[in-house]
Structure 1
Amino acid sequence: MATSRTVTATRNPQPLSADVAGPSRLRMIVVLGAMVALGPLTIDMYLPALPRIADELGVSSSVAQLTLTGTLTGLALGQLIVGPLSDSLGRRRPLMAGIALHMLASLLCLLAPDIAVLSLARGLQGMGAAAAMVVAVAVVGDLFDDSAAATVMSRLMLILGVAPIVAPSLGAAVLLKASWHWMFAVLIVLAGALLLVAAIALPETLPVGSRRPLRVRSIVATYGSLLRDLKFVILVIVGALGMAGLFAYIAGAAFVLQGRHGLDQQRFALVFGAGAIAFVAATQLNVVLLRRLSPQRILVIALTVATGVGAVFVALSVTHAGGIYGFLVPVWAVLAMMGFVIPNAPAVALSRHHEASGTAAALLGAAQFSVGAVIAPVVGLMGNDEIALSVVMTAGVAIALVALLFVGDTDDSAPSQTPQR
């Protein structure tokens, strides 16, 4: 029977069952969605301003793009730091501190006199946004299990998929009226609103009795225990490779569609948005499938289909067959399959380690952004063309499928709890 878990200081809280529903759950999903949206908004909102930033600060476009690398690095490192802190101090305090850091870093970006200060501030922004993202995933691990967790993650992916589409448009709107500096003023306002929402609407979901000691030895032991769980590590890799497919598409799509196929900026935006819609639609269909299939089964099916489509994609790219549709149809199909992979892999991974949800969420997030940061330049080095994009995307899903099949069924009882030292 479905039961909702009261957030009190019990020592061994149990996750919510799959059929929990009601206004409190919807409110929680909305709040968590706002938290995960801070990362994409921080990454993507200023992208339209990169050429202007390069001109005004007197640097090349590649140097200006290093500010994006700084943000991704901050997101990866920040999650590794905030995860253990949230397991020791509870979810709310690290979250509030992270959002406050994001606001201060945004102010520093607004006042940045040169590219060095801007890059440093962008890194701090990433660390602040990481707190919101890792705490959101950790709260899912606190409150939900297996299919219920995968369902909630699918709802969060709806916001995570929409935010990168909205963010550049919001940035472009700011540029029509003001200089690029004021985009960071908008981020200050958005982060401040999120801080207020979290303070009012997000309860503490980690009871005092379930918290872990805040000692270096304990943190290292927790990370070590997670990394020794082969099935957890494989699920982290699967989730990261799923995100890598998205980053590969983001990195190479403009060069292929505008460079080779001659789309103008408006048509490119429409086509690019269609890919995001395919991804988001799949994350919501995932909720329906979870009523009949386990998250583990959906993972295997999605990766198998993606690998098959990817092989066709590589063949079409090498032979240049099908024109623009020979590129778009397989890309959209692979992106749709990633819409099934990205919610389910973290949900199953978190279900194995409720006793360390924050640290587990940190590893998941850090792996995703680290792999994404590496994938973007790899696509560039391979030529930023259809072949590069198809090979990278197909290799990612194929490796994920092999890894998942290697460890076998992940639908077993979670390992013993990570030792507290």
Structure 2
Amino acid sequence: MTKQRYFFLILILGSLSALGPFSIDMYLPGFPAIAKDLHTTVARVALSLSSFFVGVSAGQLLYGPLLDRFGRKKPLYVGLVLYVVASAGCYLAHSIDALIALRLLQALGSCAATVAAVAMVRDLFPVQDSPKVFSLLMLVISVSPMLAPTVGGYLVAGFGWQSVFVALFAMGALLLVAAVFWLPESYAPDPTYSLHPRPILTTFFSVLREPQFFTYALTGAMTFGGLLAYVSGSPLVFMDIFRVSGQVYGWIFAGLSVGFIGASQVNTWLLRFYRSEQIVLVAIACQSVIGLVFLLGASQGWFGVTGTIVMLFLFLCCMGLANPNAAALSIAPFSKNAGSAAALMGATQMAVGALASLGVSLFNTNTAVPMVAIMATSAVLALGILLLGRRLIGTTLVSTDGQAVLVH
């Protein structure tokens, strides 16, 4: 493979991986404008984010078997076409209920891009190159939360909230063209692969019976719920309560993402000196304390814009340390069923995240307390699950390469 071809494949696969994160983050600055145009509240607009998380959770379990049964490209085509059609529908939506339903379909389409990109890395690149390629994909995904809301803020200010979905429509269409003409089929269809629910469910149940998996997967899912509570609630907190503009909110969101991404990079250095299970315990314990202090301060009105940003930054730093280690520890016991374990872990994260996002949306109050309460609760629950689950685990297995896995 030539260097040019190598770079081009990584560019396409990285763009496919970023489709989901961009779809989540780019329209956040448009929440107040959407609420005004569709005659609803910002809290109800946040339900369109919850429905997206539900779609992502279900889609991760759906596309894995389809990619093994029909090859990589056909399910990818179906997903991208669904994504493009749903994005057009979001642009044309005239009610919040329609937007919520269309965001669910958009999420199901974006899942095909994410899952196919991961599978095709394993197919197209030598085993020794996979860690480097995955690192590049993770870099693209990590940059997305910094870039997407900032771009979205300027689009909303200049052209209206519908322009965000025009941009996502164009992104999906370009990726569909790239997949058709420049992405090779990397896996021959396997007609013997069963799509019957029973063998698929049997595999998932065998994964769930592993104490190390359910302890760290649930721990990671709870912390991830705190992250998505922040993503769902922050537009209301900053743009409705603190009255910052969509552009400023985009920059605040980008700056806070540095905490999560930076801590994830610090984690790689910490792994030289400490075990993953040590790091995740300390990180979640600190996150619980920060969450409770944040909740007390929010309920008493201690924090203005600056104080809220500082507390969110600290909370997200703990998240950046806890999430990669919890993910790595949850899938470490598996060799044969690693793909199923990863899909189940990702689906669990998004399901808990959808519930957290829904919880924020149910409270139509002019205060940050609902968002902060769910963040603090998620951290405390994560700590409780971790402390109880560690008693059930015998010898903790770690990833063979000593590297943690970051799941977004």
Same fold (TM over 0.5): yes
Unaligned runs of 5+ in 1: 1-5, 7-21, 414-421
Cα distance in 2, alignment partners of residues 354 and 200 from structure 1: 34
SS in 2 for 1:410: coil
Match of 2:24 among 43, 49, 56: 43
Cα distance in 1, alignment partners of residues 278 and 69 from structure 2: 35
The Cα RMSD (Å) is: 4.1
SS in 2 for 1:73: helix
Cα contact 1:87–1:358 (8 A) shared by 2: no
Aligned to 1:405: 390
Cα contact 1:141–1:347 (8 A) shared by 2: no
Of the structure 1 ranges 322-331 and 178-187, higher mean CA displacement relative to structure 2 is found in 322-331
Aligned to 2:380: 395
Aligned to 1:190: 171
Cα distance in 1, alignment partners of residues 58 and 192 from structure 2: 22
Give the TM-score normalised by the residue count of structure 2.
0.77
Aligned to 2:194: 213
Cα contact 2:86–2:102 (8 A) shared by 1: yes
SS in 2 for 1:214: coil
Using a 3 Å threshold, how does the CA distance of structure 1 residues 148 and 172 change in structure 2: closer, same or farther? same
1:90 aligns with 2:77: no
Aligned to 1:249: 230
Residue correspondence of structure 1 range 218-229 to structure 2 within 5 A: 218-229=199-210
Cα contact 2:52–2:106 (8 A) shared by 1: yes
Using a 3 Å threshold, how does the CA distance of structure 1 residues 191 and 256 change in structure 2: closer, same or farther? closer
1:275 aligns with 2:256: yes
How far does residue 220 in structure 1 lie from its aligned partner after superposition?
2.5
Code of the aligned partner of 2:66: L
Using a 3 Å threshold, how does the CA distance of structure 1 residues 335 and 47 change in structure 2: closer, same or farther? closer
Cα distance in 2, alignment partners of residues 84 and 176 from structure 1: 42
Using a 3 Å threshold, how does the CA distance of structure 1 residues 323 and 220 change in structure 2: closer, same or farther? closer
Cα distance in 2, alignment partners of residues 156 and 125 from structure 1: 21
Cα distance in 1, alignment partners of residues 134 and 277 from structure 2: 14
Code of the aligned partner of 1:394: A
Match of 2:218 among 232, 237, 240: 237
Aligned to 1:16: none
Residue correspondence of structure 1 range 209-358 to structure 2 within 5 A: 212-253=193-234, 262=242, 264-265=244-245, 269-289=250-270, 292=272, 297-315=275-293, 317-318=295-296, 328-350=309-331, 352-358=333-339
Task: Number of aligned residue pairs: give it.
Answer: 389
Cα contact 2:280–2:321 (8 A) shared by 1: yes
Cα distance in 1, alignment partners of residues 133 and 270 from structure 2: 13
Code of the aligned partner of 1:36: S
Cα distance in 2, alignment partners of residues 298 and 109 from structure 1: 42
Using a 3 Å threshold, how does the CA distance of structure 1 residues 390 and 124 change in structure 2: closer, same or farther? closer
Aligned to 1:12: none
Cα contact 2:28–2:235 (8 A) shared by 1: no
Unaligned runs of 5+ in 2: 401-408
Of the structure 1 ranges 203-212 and 235-244, higher mean CA displacement relative to structure 2 is found in 203-212
Using a 3 Å threshold, how does the CA distance of structure 1 residues 280 and 350 change in structure 2: closer, same or farther? same
Cα distance in 1, alignment partners of residues 323 and 213 from structure 2: 14
Cα contact 1:40–1:164 (8 A) shared by 2: yes
CA deviation vs aligned residue, 1:61-92 (integer Å, no higher than 9, x gap)? 44443332322222222222112222333333
CA deviation vs aligned residue, 1:365-410 (integer Å, no higher than 9, x gap)? 2212211111134356596328626623531441353256232513
Cα contact 2:331–2:341 (8 A) shared by 1: yes
Cα distance in 1, alignment partners of residues 129 and 385 from structure 2: 23
Q: Percent identity, aligned pairs only?
A: 32
Aligned to 2:100: 119
